[in-house]
């Protein structure tokens, strides 16, 4: 049986109280009823944040654009970041109510918090998502959402088991130019779909470590907690400022870095949110995968037409479309030019995606970047990177979620966690 939690949202949604067995109107102050310019509590979801640095700080601001959202707590291993978010939240709400802590458990254990924004480094995304789901929180989590095939499956299963609303930060699912390109692919206006192309980065990662530096006090920067389930290594401030990217222990490589967006969009265009390609053929800078329906998924860095970062291209027997983060599109042949448009919201904007998440929190509907779809797009990214690392063609069974006839590749579907950490 699932544990029943009477959250603030559910409590305030009750429209009457029972007095002597008779339902009577609840007597509440004007502010609680949304008068005098306030927002009534039934529509005021409460939020906490975990690991809000650069991208996380930006998405935090997107949530604060919604007057119904109350931000109550932030956890971060680095005191500067958590105190910065605390000050911004308090200034926005005009109070001193935001809790600042290095312990995410203090945020997740609070019964007055409905949802969490997770924007830690990639190594933490699956673990914190699972912790939040078990704590009964709805979840907006930045991408990449997993570091392995195994984590992808654990994430989807855990969120589903606990019945939470989940939105991955793959915000291009909510942006008009990408949605338009997907519609062209799915509607048949391009003819029979033959290939989908995903803009990715150089795949490789390094096993080298940065030079050791004196480790700070845990209350200032908790290095052990920053590492989480990753192997223990010496502290270097460069990791805190983003040099964890490209390090194998912390990162899934360049195919995953952008592929978590672009492969995700290719999956939708091919109407493959419930599956992944079945063959992966590595190339010098990426991978070419093949779906069971014969469509090719081409992961590459070069040869794009200037539509911006995270570009995608969908090709069919009768036409093609390419678009990217600039909001612009190019389409061929001329018969399809009427479909061309320039969209004002660029690919890095999270506004529409945050709105979709808040709508789903209220209605309990499935968000656009739901965990099952995210798991599949990430599995495709991980499988491609494994094929690239091994330098060999790999066949994959999307039902059993295992490589066919390659024990080494199957060992690479997961990574060991440091002692004491678990999902």
342 by Cβ neighbours in 10 Å (0-12 / 13-18 / 19+) ranks as exposed
Mean pLDDT of 65-75: 97
State the total domains in the chain: 2
pLDDT above 70 covers what percent of the chain?
90
**419 pLDDT higher than 60:** yes
What pLDDT, in 10s, does the model give residues 90-123? 999 999 999 999 999 999 999 999 999 999 999 9
* Same domain assignment for residues 144 and 194: no
* Same domain assignment for residues 126 and 262: no
Q: Residue 6: pLDDT band by 50, 70, 90 thresholds? A: very low
* Same domain assignment for residues 167 and 184: no
* Same domain assignment for residues 264 and 380: yes
* Same domain assignment for residues 265 and 390: yes
pLDDT of residue 329: 95
Instruction: Break the chain down into helix, strand, coil percent, rounded to 5.
Output: 35, 20, 45
CATH number at residue 97: 3.40.50.720
* Same domain assignment for residues 185 and 90: no
* Same domain assignment for residues 181 and 38: no
Q: Is residue 104 part of a domain?
A: yes
What pLDDT, in 10s, does the model give residues 252-274? 999 999 999 999 999 999 999 99
Q: Which helix (H) or strand (E) holds 64?
A: helix 54-64
Mean pLDDT of 333-351: 90
Q: Is residue 128 part of a domain?
A: yes
Tokens 């308090």 -> residue: 90
| CA nearest to 29, candidates 14, 17, 40, 42 | 40
**41 pLDDT higher than 90:** no
CATH number at residue 282: 3.30.360.10
Q: Is residue 222 part of a domain?
A: no
Distances (CA, A) of 182 to 12, 171, 177, 299, 373: 40, 14, 9, 17, 15
| CA nearest to 78, candidates 210, 244, 211, 207 | 244
pLDDT of residue 311: 98
Torsional class of 47: left (φ above 0), alpha (ψ -120 to 50), beta (otherwise)? beta
Q: Is residue 211 part of a domain?
A: no
Domain boundary among 149, 171, 193: 171
Q: Is residue 418 part of a domain?
A: no
Query: Whole domain around residue 329: which residue ranges?
Result: 172-204+252-411
Mean pLDDT of 367-388: 98
Q: Is residue 107 part of a domain?
A: yes
Mean pLDDT of 225-247: 96
Q: Is residue 92 part of a domain?
A: yes
* Same domain assignment for residues 138 and 75: yes
Collapse the DSSP code of 308 into the 3-class scheme (helix H, G, I; strand E, B; otherwise coil) and give the result: coil
Mean pLDDT of 159-180: 97
* Same domain assignment for residues 68 and 107: yes
pLDDT of residue 194: 98
Q: Is residue 419 part of a domain?
A: no
Distance CA 300, CA 176 (A): 23
* Same domain assignment for residues 303 and 324: yes
pLDDT of residue 4: 32
* Same domain assignment for residues 109 and 185: no
Q: Do the beta carbons of residue 111 and residue 134 sit within 8 Å?
A: no
Q: At CA 111, angle to CA 108 and CA 114, rounded to 5? A: 75
pLDDT of residue 34: 40
pLDDT of residue 335: 86
Cβ atoms within 10 A of the Cβ of 161, count? 12
- β-pairing, 296-300 vs 286-290, is antiparallel
pLDDT of residue 40: 42
Q: Is the dihedral of CA 121, 310, 374, 412 positive or negative?
A: negative
């Amino acid at each position: 049986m699932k544990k029943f939690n009477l959250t603030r949202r559910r409590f305030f949604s009750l429209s009457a109280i029972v007095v002597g067995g008779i339902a009577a109107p609840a007597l509440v102050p004007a502010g609680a009823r949304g008068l005098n310019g306030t927002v009534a509590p039934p529509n005021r979801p409460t939020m906490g944040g975990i690991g809000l640095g650069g991208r996380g700080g930006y998405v935090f601001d997107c949530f604060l654009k919604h007057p119904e959202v109350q931000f109550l707590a932030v956890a971060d291993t680095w005191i500067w970041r958590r105190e910065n978010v605390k000050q911004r939240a308090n200034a926005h709400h005009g109070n001193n109510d935001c809790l600042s802590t290095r312990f995410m458990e203090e945020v997740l254990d609070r019964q007055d918090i409905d949802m969490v924004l997770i924007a830690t480094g990639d190594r933490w995304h699956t673990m914190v998502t699972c912790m939040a789901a078990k704590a009964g929180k709805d979840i907006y989590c930045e991408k990449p959402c997993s570091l392995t095939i195994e984590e992808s499956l654990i994430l989807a299963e855990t969120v589903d088991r606990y019945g939470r609303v989940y939105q991955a930060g793959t915000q291009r699912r909510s942006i008009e130019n990408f949605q338009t390109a997907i519609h062209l692919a799915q509607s048949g206006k391009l003819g029979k779909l033959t290939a989908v192309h995903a803009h990715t980065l150089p795949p490789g990662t390094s096993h080298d470590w940065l030079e050791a530096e004196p480790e700070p006090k845990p209350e200032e920067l908790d290095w052990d907690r920053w590492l989480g389930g990753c192997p223990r290594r010496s502290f270097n401030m460069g990791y805190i400022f983003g040099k964890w990217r490209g390090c194998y222990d912390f990162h899934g490589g360049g195919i995953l870095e952008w592929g978590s967006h672009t492969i995700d969009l290719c999956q939708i265009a091919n109407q493959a949110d419930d599956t992944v390609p079945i063959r992966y053929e590595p190339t010098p800078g990426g991978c070419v995968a093949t779906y069971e329906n014969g469509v090719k998924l081409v992961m590459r860095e070069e040869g794009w037409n200037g539509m911006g970062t995270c570009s995608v291209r969908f090709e069919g027997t009768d036409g093609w479309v390419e678009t990217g983060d600039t909001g612009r599109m190019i389409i061929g042949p001329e018969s399809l030019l009427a479909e061309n448009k320039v969209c004002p919201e660029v690919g890095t904007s999270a506004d529409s995606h945050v709105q979709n998440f808040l709508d789903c929190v209220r209605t309990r509907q499935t968000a656009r970047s739901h965990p099952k779809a995210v798991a599949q797009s990430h599995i495709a990214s991980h499988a491609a990177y494994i094929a690239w690392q091994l330098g060999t063609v790999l066949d994959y069974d999307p039902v059993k979620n295992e490589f066919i006839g390659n024990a080494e590749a199957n060992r690479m579907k997961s990574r060991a966690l440091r002692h004491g950490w678990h999902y």
